A and B are shown apart, each in its own frame.
Chain A
Amino acid sequence: MKLPISIAINGQTRSLEIDTRLTLVALVREELGLTGTHVGCTTGNCGACTVLLDGDTVKSCCVLAADVDGQEITTIEAFSTGASTLHPIQQAFADNQGLQCGFCTPGMVLSTHYLLGQNPSPTEADIRHGISGNLCRCTGYQMIVDSVLDAAQRARESAPSASGAAE
């Protein structure tokens, strides 16, 4: 069955006819071609598919596309336009080696963005809880935690003018 929906994807309004069986992650990846959002499990455990839905993180494998009609979706693609315009969170991950294979990274960046929006000065424990919905099998999390600490510091230093591309 087809259903018309209208969404704002990374700031752009789009009207689409979708298959009602489609999940949000399939909409993003396969219909819109935004392949930075990844699929690791489809059971809501790994967090590789994390996107922002009206500003909140969701695991997009567990949301039906039909349910996001009228909502705003932000994916990793909104965070940079090229190698020299990385979002400060992305730059902190790149500089601190907060990734290895990069498969979980977009989800980590989204969860970090949400965390720092809620808590601009997180402790290490806050960070570990804040990203506990995102599994990483490569890094043992240490350099990710260091990246988030660095990202928080960068954001504080450039406040109040700092604004993410994703806002």
Chain B
Amino acid sequence: MGYVGKGVPSLTNTRLVAGRGQFVDDIALPDMTHVAVLRSPYAHARIRSIDTSAAESLPGVIHVITGDEVKANMNAIPETYDTGAVGAKGVKWYALCLDRARYVGEAVAAVVAEDKFAAYEARDLIEVDYEELPVVADPEAAMSDDAPLVEPDWGDNIMATRDITLGDPDAAFAEADGVATGSVRSSRITGSAIEPRGCMASYDPYDDQLTFWDSTQNPHPLRQYLAGTLGVPDTSIRVIQPHVGGAFGLKMPTFQEEPLVAYLARKLGRPVKWIEERTENFQTGGHARDTRFRYDVAYKDDGEVTGIRLEVLADVGAPTALCGWGMSFVTWYCLPCVYKIPNSETHLRSVVTNKCPWNAYRGYGKDAASFLMDRIMDHVARETGLPRADVRFKNFIPADEFPYPQVSGAMLDSGNYAAALEKVLDMVGYDDFPRQQEEALAEGRYLGLGIGQELIPEGCSMPGSLILNGSDGVEVRVSPTGDVTALTGITSPGSGNETGIAQIVADGLGCELSRVRVIQGDTESCPWGFGNYSARSIIIGGSAAQLAAGDIREKMALVAGRMLEADPADLEFSEGNVTVKGTPGQAVSFDDVASDVYRNPHGANMEETEPALEATRHFKIGNVYHQPEKQGRFSAYPSWPNGAAACIVEVDPETGQIEILKYCMVHDAGTIVNPLLADANLHGGIAQGLGAALYEQIVYDEAAQPLTATFMDYTIPTAVEIPRMELAHQETPTPFTPLGTKGVGESGVGAPLGALCNAVEDAFPDLDITLNEVPLTPSRVWSAIQEAKTGAPEREAVSR
């Protein structure tokens, strides 16, 4: 009996429901100043000159900064995803544009003022003389020989290329019973945390210490990147993560504003705060997933897929120091996901354009790969006339073939995909659905059932990276009174991992959960760690916590054994009591053991034993192989959570409107530490997946001007659009973490895309509809229905 496996509500709930959390904009310091950032109104322009005189003379303005000052005083921002390590091209990106802006919103100048009113007013008084340059707005056009260049030094617009072949695709296609060909597209989206980005810095010149509060996921890496940009020792910077109002990957460093604010605070000797506006977030806060796929698939009449050729073309926006472009690499890396396809050929082209750069977003590209494979399996089902579930069952990697090496070099740790799909089909009522569909049709209602299969690898570890890394640290301290503090390198953006850590530590020590306090997000007190992303907090941070608690427990068992005159191996630690197995009367309290360790370091119980109860441990996860083998492949993901979803929708053929009547998911993240919080994360992941499937799209016009810059244009779902979700867990523990945990933080987000497309197609059994592009806006669905009815393509209202 223990806490691991119990659905304990998050330890931060009480403070947050009371409105007593402290988010970065809640921090106010005496003498605080405010920053407003001037951003490029053009997608591509040379900056001829900047006149700041009118802005500087406005009352309340303290300083106006442009690229010239940045160039003279700051280094380029270090890359967070090392382009060189995977043979990609990189750029030098500065806190402000030096002489050229490459997307609408790129930071050109900034004002520091006594209050926000003065800062915003002065920002509007800065005069920039721009020379417009040719714009790259489309990734396919970007690949043509005469395309303008986003980065003239590169010679082309291709940032990363991967081409890998496994087996003999040519033979597979020659011997196939049939070949299906098609294209799939996932739209440009963004994470839209309700709290925008923001940071504040305060400098103490007497101690040469900069304190930097940031709505970030990664305090320790951010400190390195700030130090690198400023050219100062990392010990002169303390990064503190206050409460974070949602992140979903998008608050991974390093954006232009972070080093800019750090620099300004050091220069001016006053606290400097910058809080992002929502429109700035849509223009500059990081985009994701804009990917076009082409596929050829060779199959047998029995549904077996024998060969596949896949092309991935990702529009990663402008290149920067952010890690988001790596999502395109991961999309490619996951293919062909949960399927065993012996002859595979996969190609990646990550292409830059004059749009907002990608930054990490929940799913990190795995979502798009799962979407593609769902569409392919449904296509094979359509061509062969086989049920779509059967085609999946036929091609799954069998449960007894793990660890399974995928074409990219990925090493899938474990899984039982067929069992998960069987279970979800049962939950959704797959066998009975044709009857339900027929009855509805008799009433003039169009119901469809769809299946989605996702593979969302976690614990990302890239070679040479100071952020995407498969290790993390936890320090556990037991005080003289038996109270417990756990300090972690991982952080929580609201996902509840502090609660999971406390559960693991309480079980590791054998103390009550209420005795454990978790401290996160402070580079001065917490051990080194990479922070939060890739659902790594419990699988890597949790494992470190278990190791550290284990070290302390071992020492306490030694001391308690001497106190009780028992063999330490015979002791049981539970709920704050240490007892000898078989003799319940022979006991000592956890607190008394702790007290003895501290009070009597020279006593008999502590003979030849190091004083105090503090342990720091770092966990390095297994199943990562960075030594490239032939074709340059390596294993970057240790853990491969997966899931199967099924949904039933009703479609209004007159409007193209979709209503989700039922959404079920069976999820496999190995051992679950906290089922309540795991479900909570899944709900959030599914809702974001449904948003991307149905409603969300960042739209740019031909001049790469963003047309979706507020929540009125970019519509994330409200409580009305999201259905009640039915979840079930399947636990196939990974052999690569001590508890068998696989990670749950991004799960749920991948399956909705394929499931919804498939369900809408299924709602019209008599029409030949193929929906290979999301979001499924009413106009897109209506157009597809009209086209299938009349055979003529209808004009679509959705642009790029």
Which residues of A are interface residues toward B (Cβ below 8 A)? 19, 21, 29-30, 33, 35-43, 45-46, 48, 75-77, 79-80, 83, 86, 90-91, 93-106, 109, 124, 127-129, 131-145
Contacts and interface: CB of A to CB of B under 8 A. Distances in A.
A140 B722 contact: yes
B446 to A, nearest CB: 22
Interface in B1-43: 9-10, 12-23, 25-26, 28
A77 B19 contact: yes
A101 B244 contact: yes
Interface stretch (B303-311, B451-459, B586-594, B708-716): B708-716
B16 A102 contact: yes
B463 interface: no
Contact of A101 (B14, B191, B192, B246): B246
24 contacts: A19-B117, A21-B117, A29-B25, A35-B19, A40-B194, A40-B196, A40-B278, A41-B278, A41-B711, A43-B712, A83-B15, A93-B13, A94-B9, A101-B244, A102-B15, A102-B21, A102-B245, A135-B194, A137-B246, A139-B687, A141-B718, A141-B719, A142-B683, A142-B722
Nearest to B682: A140
A14 B375 CA distance: 62
Nearest to B676: A97
A135 B715 CA distance: 10
Contacts of B722: 140-142
B194 A103 contact: yes
A102 B719 contact: no
A142 B495 CA distance: 15
Given A95-B9, A137-B684, A48 B18 contact: no
A100 B677 CA distance: 9
A86 B18 contact: yes
Contact of B684 (A36, A46, A95, A138): A138
B19 A137 contact: no
A42 B278 contact: yes
Contacts of A109: 17, 19
A130 B335 CA distance: 42
A45 B712 contact: yes
Nearest to B246: A101
A159 to B, nearest CB: 22
B58 interface: no
A29 B116 CA distance: 14
B797 interface: no
B185 interface: no
Contact of A37 (B19, B676, B687): B19
Given A40-B196, A97-B13, A132 B718 contact: yes
Given A35-B26, A45-B711, A140-B725, A75 B19 contact: yes
The 8 A-B residue pairs with the shortest CB-CB distance, nearest first, are A36-B19, A101-B494, A102-B16, A103-B245, A140-B687, A76-B19, A140-B683, A45-B711
B520 interface: no
A30 B291 CA distance: 43
Contacts, number: 189
A103 B711 contact: no
B123 interface: no
Contact of B192 (A128, A133, A137): A137
Contacts of B683: 139-143
A97 B677 contact: yes
Nearest to B21: A102
Contacts of B19: 35-37, 75-77, 79, 105-106, 109
Interface of B: 9-10, 12-23, 25-26, 28, 117, 191-196, 243-248, 275, 277-278, 493-496, 676-677, 679-681, 683-688, 710-712, 716, 718-720, 722, 724-725
Contacts of B195: 38, 40, 48, 101, 103
B277 A102 contact: no
A138 B712 contact: no
Contacts of A124: 724
A135 B494 contact: no
Given A101-B494, A103-B195, A142-B683, A135 B718 contact: yes
A79 B16 CA distance: 12
A141 B495 CA distance: 14
Contacts of A29: 25-26
Given A137-B246, A139-B680, 11 more contacts: A37-B19, A38-B245, A77-B19, A86-B17, A91-B17, A100-B680, A101-B247, A128-B719, A131-B718, A140-B686, A140-B688
B695 to A, nearest CB: 12
Nearest to A84: B14
A39 B26 CA distance: 10
A144 B719 contact: yes
A142 B684 CA distance: 9
A99 B17 contact: yes
Contacts of B718: 128, 131-135, 141
Q: Most chain-B CB neighbours within 10 Å: which of A79, A91, A97? A: A97
B700 to A, nearest CB: 20
Contact of A43 (B17, B193, B684, B710): B710
Nearest to B718: A132
A131 to B, nearest CB: 5
A102 B17 contact: yes
Contacts of B716: 135, 137
B650 to A, nearest CB: 16
Contacts of A106: 19
B722 to A, nearest CB: 5
A93 B12 CA distance: 12
Given A100-B10, A102-B17, A103-B245, A145 B194 contact: no
B266 to A, nearest CB: 25
Contacts of B685: 140
Contact of B246 (A41, A133, A138): A138
Nearest to B685: A140
B191 A137 contact: yes
B288 to A, nearest CB: 14
A137 to B, nearest CB: 5
B18 A43 contact: no
A16 B195 CA distance: 29
Contacts of A101: 16, 193-195, 243-247, 493-495
Contacts of B677: 97
A82 B688 CA distance: 34
B711 to A, nearest CB: 4
Contact of B194 (A21, A80, A104, A141): A104
B23 A103 contact: yes
A99 B13 contact: yes
Contacts of A138: 246, 494-495, 680, 684
A35 B247 CA distance: 20
Nearest to A41: B278
Nearest to A129: B720
Contacts of A96: 9
B720 A128 contact: yes
Contacts of A102: 12-13, 15-17, 21, 243, 245, 494
Nearest to B499: A97
Contact of B494 (A41, A94, A100): A100
Contact of A139 (B16, B26, B196, B684): B684
B194 A48 contact: yes
Contacts of A128: 718-720
B711 A43 contact: yes
B67 to A, nearest CB: 28
A136 B680 CA distance: 12
